[in-house]
Amino acid sequence: MDDAEAIGALSALAQGHRLNVFRMLVRESPAALTAGQIADRAGLAPSALSFHLARLERAGLIRSWRVTRHIHYAIAVEGMRRLLAFLTEDCCHGRPDMCGIGPARQPQATEETMSTRPFNVMFLCTGNSARSIIAECILNRIGGGRFTAHSAGSQPRGTVHPLALDLLRNTNHDIGPLRSKSWDEFTGANAPNLDFVITLCDSAAREPCPAWPGQPMTAHWGLPDPAAAAGSEAERSAAFAETYRMLENRISLLVNLPIGALDKLSLQARLDAIGGERTSKT
């Protein structure tokens, strides 16, 4: 970050409403908020809020994406990291870690120095009947032994959606072990240590999560619920196929991340970016 970028970012924050909105999004991270939710919490009229959000986004401090009719906003982790690094990089003669106000300059981990066990990834949605089940199957197939996928729900339906089962059966996934289950199953003493927890629906992202074993990194990859699709059975099946396609694209990006070569903030930024990925049809 150069001086001009830093001045732009600091100027964007030097206003009460914008600072309040930015801190609100920091507290919600890695989840996002819609413009309506931000307006309600901040007590701002939509026109005023749009001005402030645009200013923060131009400064590289927040990012936005559209889901159906709503625009979602979240912090831009990389922009925040760059601003903090700019402010602290010269402290203590270029060693901000010496006084504890900047990130310690530690050697980056490599794939060889990381644990040989697979990364445990939890996919969450409220009902654990469609999106999270599909994501679990995809990652277990393409994870190359480096990832073990799990799925759960905050309010599990108890059964997997029939159209999800049809789709997974037709794409040659083993559906025998699949079941809709509560996230409480993954909080006990015998639960696997989780490395990543990824929410796939906005309602699950807003709920207070349990204390996961392993202190996992979290991200929100919100997707429309295919179970809510209307129309003929063919149209509803097409909604499930589109969910599969979007999840397969995003999970492919996850498995190809150089996880061992990224520091925690950079990895978080990459996970968040995958959630905002606008995957196109191929």
The token pair at 54 is 């645009």
Clarify whether residues 142 and 198 are in a common domain.
yes
Closest CA to 138 of 6, 259, 255, 270: 255
Sign of CA dihedral 75, 76, 81, 84: negative
Please pick, among 91, 92, 99, 209, the residue that the annotation labels catalytic: 209
Smallest CA-to-CA distance from 212 within 152, 270, 267 is with 152
Is 281 within the bounds of a domain? no
Over pLDDT 90: what percentage of the chain? 55
* Residue range 232-259, pLDDT digits in tens: 999 999 999 999 999 999 999 999 998 8
User: Do 260 and 181 share a domain, yes or no?
Assistant: yes
Within this chain, do residues 135 and 169 fall inside the same structural domain, yes or no? yes
- Measured in whole angstroms, the distance separating CA 201 from the mean position of its chain's CA atoms is 10
b/e map 43-60, b = 16+ CB within 10 Å:
ebeeeebeebbebbbebb
Q: Which domain holds residue 71?
A: 3-98
Each residue's pLDDT tens digit, 84-137: 888 887 776 565 555 555 544 443 443 433 456 899 999 999 999 999 999 999
Q: What pLDDT score was predicted for residue 97?
A: 56
Q: Is the pTM of this model over 0.75?
A: no
User: Cβ of 104: how many Cβ atoms within 10 Å?
Assistant: 10
Phi, psi at residue 34, to the nearest 5°?
Answer: -80, 165
- For 62, 120, 171, 204, the CA distances from 31, given in Å and listed in that order, are 12, 20, 31, 10
Domain limit, last residue, from 47, 65, 98: 98
> Is 137 considered catalytic here?
no
Residue from 91, 92, 99, 125 carrying the catalytic annotation = 125
Residue 192 · residue 225 · CB < 8 Å: no
125 is catalytic: yes
**Residue 92 annotated among the catalytic residues of the structure:** no
pLDDT given at position 75: 84
Residue 164 counted as domain residue:
yes
Q: Are residues 10 and 44 in the same domain?
A: yes
In a domain, 157, yes or no: yes
Question: What pLDDT, on the 0 to 100 scale, is given for residue 99?
Answer: 56
Residue 116 has a pLDDT of 65
Report the pLDDT value the prediction gives residue 114, as an integer from 0 to 100: 44
> Do the domain assignments include residue 106?
no
Q: Please give the Cα distance from 166 to 176 (Å, whole number).
A: 12
Q: Is residue 280 part of a domain?
A: no
- Tokens 């600091």 — which residue? 10
CATH code for position 252: 3.40.50.2300
For residue 30, tell me if it sits in a domain.
Answer: yes
Cα distance between residue 91 and residue 274, in whole Å: 33
User: What gap in Å lies between CA 189 and CA 256, rounded to an integer?
Assistant: 31
202 and 243, same structural domain?
yes
User: What does the alpha-carbon distance between residue 213 and residue 183 come to, in Å, rounded to a whole number?
Assistant: 12
For the chain, the domain total comes to 2
Can you tell me the distance from the alpha carbon of 163 to that of 21, in angstroms, rounded to the nearest whole number?
40
The tens-digit pLDDT sequence of the chain (282 residues) is 888 999 999 999 999 999 999 999 888 776 678 889 999 999 999 889 999 999 999 999 998 887 667 888 888 888 888 888 888 877 765 655 555 555 444 434 434 334 568 999 999 999 999 999 999 999 999 998 899 999 999 999 999 999 999 999 999 999 999 999 999 999 887 888 999 999 998 876 677 777 777 778 999 999 999 999 999 999 999 999 999 999 999 999 999 998 888 888 888 888 988 987 654 443
Whether residues 78 and 38 fall in one domain? yes
